[in-house]
Amino acid sequence: MTQEHIGTLLENATLSIEEIGISCNVSRDWVVQHVEAGVLLVPGAEVADWTFSGRDLQRVRRLVDLERTFDANPELAGLVADLFDELERLRKRLQRAGLSID
């Protein structure tokens, strides 16, 4: 199953900070650090009120992978994740326009 399919399945799901941490094998402090760094955006001012979507789950997994693989700090991993997201959006636009990606 592709990441896109996983994202679609989980699109309406909401996860707590504990659930996203368990799902991605990261600590609560890791999640808080990344929210404070601005690479994860959450509604709610209090940590206890934070909820995460299926798309957030994908992003956390990408951030974890980038940080572990390239020893990247949160800000750099967030920037690279943003670039991957933008590349995906542009590819979809090209496909919808009937243009080849190759």
Domains defined along the chain, listed by start: 3-96 (1.10.1660.10)
| Predicted pLDDT of residue 9 | 58
Report the C-alpha gap between 21 and 43 in whole angstroms: 17
pTM metric for this prediction: 0.83
**Model pLDDT for residues 52-86, shown as the tens digit of each residue:** 999 999 999 999 999 999 999 999 999 999 999 99
Report the C-alpha gap between 28 and 21 in whole angstroms: 6
pLDDT tier, 1 (very low <50, low <70, confident <90, very high otherwise): low
Mean pLDDT of the chain: 89
What SS3 class is residue 62?
A: helix
